[in-house]
Amino acid sequence: MRKNSFWEWEITKRTPWFGADFKELYSFRDLLFRLVRKEFLMYYQQTLLGPLWMVIQPILTVFTYVLIFDKVIGLETQGVPPFLFYLTGITLWSLFSDIFLGTSGTFTQNANIFSKVYFPRIIAPVAILLLHLIRFLIQLLLLSVVLAWYYFTGRYQPDGNWLLSVPVIIMTAGTAFGAGLIFSVISARYRDLMNLQQLLVRLLMFLCPIFYSLAMVPGDKKWLVSLNPLSSFFEVFRYAFIGKGTASMNELVYSAVWMVALVAVGILLFNKRGDQLMDVI
Amino acid sequence: MAQPIIQAENVSKVYRLGTLGSGSVKKDLKRWWLTNVLKKESAYFGAVIGEEQYQDQEFWALRDVSFEINEGDVWGIIGSNGAGKSTLLKILSRITKPSSGRIRGRGKISSLLEVGTGFHPDLTGRENIYISGHFLGMTRNEIKRNFDEIVAFSGVEKFIDTPVKRYSSGMYVRLAFAVAAHLDPDILIVDEVLAVGDAEFQKKCMGKMKDVSTNRGRTIIFVSHNMQAVNSLCSKAIWLQTGKIKSTGNAHTVINQYLGAHQRRLWQQEWSPENAPGNEYIKVLSVKLEPDIPEPGTPLTITNALTVKFTFQNNTNDINLVAGLHLFTLAGECVFDIATAPGIFKEGLMEGECSIPGNFLNDGSYYFSIIFVKDTSEPVFYLEECIYFDMEDYRVNTTWFGKWMGYVRPQFPFYIKSVNPVT
């Protein structure tokens, strides 16, 4: 009889919960970085302004919001210039929605490549995650420039601590990634969800304190916004950059628990179910 | 002594046809309710819920497939469509999981299940070389090292920074294959890539695969419908039929078994006098093709001579009778039309025979029709499409596996020689 160690790998029906081991994942790092690069190139393929869109897009969005929420509706922004107020919210929101929408299409959009070649499937959503983190950093740069302009022209004096934003950014990205993974698995099986997804994201957007702050929500409706685990992230993020925002420790713990749960369930579900999905998509 | 590199034990893959891609929440919830809450085990096999009946059927794409492949062997996997070839490749490539059984192996596997894995039309040739290379398992350094060679091999130097969507399909395929050709895995899995591309490209592919196996000693698993290619490239073969291994072993033997079983044939027909085809003059009683093959069950190849024999009842006494034999390709083109010398025969049983030498017809599918003519011009009876047969290709010492042109492939004396050599 041959010794067991004679064989280097084995294929059976079992799927480990963690999909691939870290040694294997590490061996696919070149693919990961190439995919990030590819997605990046794809975004601005055949555009005139190229990567400039990364900053133009949020600016245009903010102008729209300023027009509607400030000029038309006249929503209060706690003494912060509306442009700065909305830009802060939009920056973090696009991080969430980009990662969530990007990763939730993992199976449906990669069905072709998944059916032709093996690589640890988690590489695909992780590439999307990295891509949007990089885009986010560039948008953060825009936010800093705008903030500096307000500061040096003396129009607004923020008194936040930007270091507080770091854990919040990580947790927002984590929540989006976890939720995206769960959605990717379910929507591969039930395409029905793809129709609902856009609606859900829009609904969630209004439940996040982006154009308003938690302090402005009437007391009897507060629970609705507080229920949203993302709310405290927006408050802390805004506090970190423009010094306006309130979040209690309880709210942050509540959000953190959500994030950890979503990431854990997402990764496990993705790895465990991913293999079976190959026979469905 | 060669060591085994892949060992498959009782590998099975079952698909549930009913659940496959149904993608409806309602149906799945009902199924879940039945199996998990009401504990009805039969939910998968036709439980009645209201007026709906679930007719979930199991489909065994593979069933108890076991084999062992040694290092450096080149294996061909053959079988008709739906026999499980692709499923087996997908399991070996880790794209899908087996339902039971296991495969163990050593070394790195690369699979070429399509030409241009991971290619994106919007990206340049340069980007696509990297992306495709990484997908197929190459590292960045490997691609960097081979980059110039890959570009040279593909012959698209000028367009390397152009998006591949602007490439001609030939250029696209060449670039894609150039990447694949520079893979250096321990085990290479190739699925029917030869089916695309022109003759020159196919030749390049085959040459590369031969090089990988003979010069570098790599193990190759190769699926193809082209028996010529399998025959010349592979030393061993597996014949899959409806998910099971029908035969395995020496490639030549397995291919012959496969072809012998799959050739289209209607070699013999006999009729009793009551229902014999014909009219008041002629009634055909039997037709028969007797190929000169060494033993029954071996495939008919272009080297085999053929004899056509037929018997008929002649009810005429005084007409000038001619029998003609028409050979058609399956597409209906006439290959030849030959006739017997005219003669006046007495009423009664008659027989006819025609010999066609080997090395005359090209490979392909053919049928015979027999015609009886009186006074060299007036048809008496035409028995259409009475014998069907397939001719398999047979080539030795060639690197060309494409379809040989023409209906006939005779071996006439033909040579070239040098008349005034420059010394």
The predicted-structure confidence for A92-123, as pLDDT tens digits, reads as follows: 999 999 999 999 988 888 888 998 898 888 99
Q: Which tokens in the block code for residue B20?
A: 């496959």
d(CA B248, CA B255): 10
Nearest by CB: B20 against A28, A38, A279: A279
Strand pairing class (B306-314; B282-291): antiparallel
Average pLDDT over residues A184-204: 86
Give B262→chain A minimum CA distance, Å. 29
Name the burial class of residue A4, with classes exposed (0-12), middle (13-18) and buried (19+) by CB atoms within 10 angstroms of its CB: exposed
Cβ–Cβ < 8 Å for A94, A59: no
ipTM: 0.85
Residue B57 has a pLDDT of 67
Average pLDDT, chain A: 87
Answer whether A118 sits within 8 Å of B111, measured CB to CB: yes
Average pLDDT over residues A160-173: 91
Residue A281 has a pLDDT of 60
Taking alpha carbons only, the member of B72, B15, B134 closest to residue A280 is: B15
Answer whether A34 sits within 8 Å of B23, measured CB to CB: no
> Minimum mean pLDDT among A26-40, A42-56, A141-155, B37-51: which range?
B37-51
Nearest by CB: B20 against A116, A191, A280: A280
**Per residue of chain B (423 residues), what is the pLDDT tens digit?**
678 999 999 999 988 765 444 455 666 677 667 666 665 544 444 444 443 444 456 788 999 999 999 998 999 999 888 889 989 999 999 888 899 999 999 988 888 888 888 899 989 999 999 999 999 988 999 999 999 999 998 888 999 999 999 999 888 888 988 898 888 889 999 887 655 666 677 777 778 888 888 888 889 998 987 787 888 888 999 999 989 999 999 988 888 888 878 776 788 899 988 888 988 889 999 999 998 888 777 888 888 999 999 999 999 888 899 999 999 987 788 899 999 999 899 999 999 999 999 999 988 889 999 999 988 788 899 998 899 998 888 777 666 666 788 888 888 899 998 898 887
Q: How confident is the model at residue A258 (pLDDT cuts 50, 70, 90)?
A: very high
Residue B42 has a pLDDT of 45
Residue B287 has a pLDDT of 94
Q: Which residues contact A269 (CB under 8 A, 6 or more apart)?
A: A181, A182, A185
Nearest by CB: A11 against B15, B24, B103: B103
Give B15→chain A minimum CA distance, Å. 8
Taking alpha carbons only, the member of B21, B17, B19, B13 closest to residue B60 is: B13
By CA distance, what is A110's nearest residue in B?
B118
In angstroms, the Cα distances linking A45 to A145, B58, B228, B269 are 27, 45, 44, 66
Phi, psi angles (nearest 5°) of residue B52: -85, 140
From chain A, the residues in CB contact with B21 under 8 A are 280
- In a mutational test of the B interface, the residue from A24, A30, A108 whose CB has the highest number of chain B CBs within 10 Å is A30
Whether the predicted pLDDT of A264 surpasses 90? yes
Residue A215: CB atoms within 10 Å: 13
- Bridge partners, B324 (sequence order): B339, B371
Residue B49 has a pLDDT of 43
From chain B, the residues in CB contact with A38 under 8 A are 120, 123, 127, 131
Give B31→chain A minimum CA distance, Å. 15
Interface of A with B (CB under 8 A): 6-13, 15, 28, 30-31, 34-35, 37-38, 41-42, 45-46, 113-119, 189-192, 275-276, 278-280
Higher pLDDT, B47 or A196: A196
d(CA A151, CA A149): 5
Residue A172 has a pLDDT of 96
d(CA A84, CA B208): 61
Answer whether A279 sits within 8 Å of B15, measured CB to CB: yes
Answer whether A117 sits within 8 Å of B127, measured CB to CB: no
Give A224→chain B minimum CA distance, Å. 28
Residue A127 has a pLDDT of 95
Nearest by CB: A115 against B24, B95, B105: B95
Cβ–Cβ < 8 Å for B112, B190: yes
By CA distance, what is B142's nearest residue in A?
A30
With a CB-CB cutoff of 8 Å, which residues 95-124 of chain B face chain A?
A: 95-107, 111, 113-114, 117-118, 120, 122-123
DSSP for residue B35: I
Answer whether A118 sits within 8 Å of B93, measured CB to CB: yes
By CA distance, what is B19's nearest residue in A?
A280
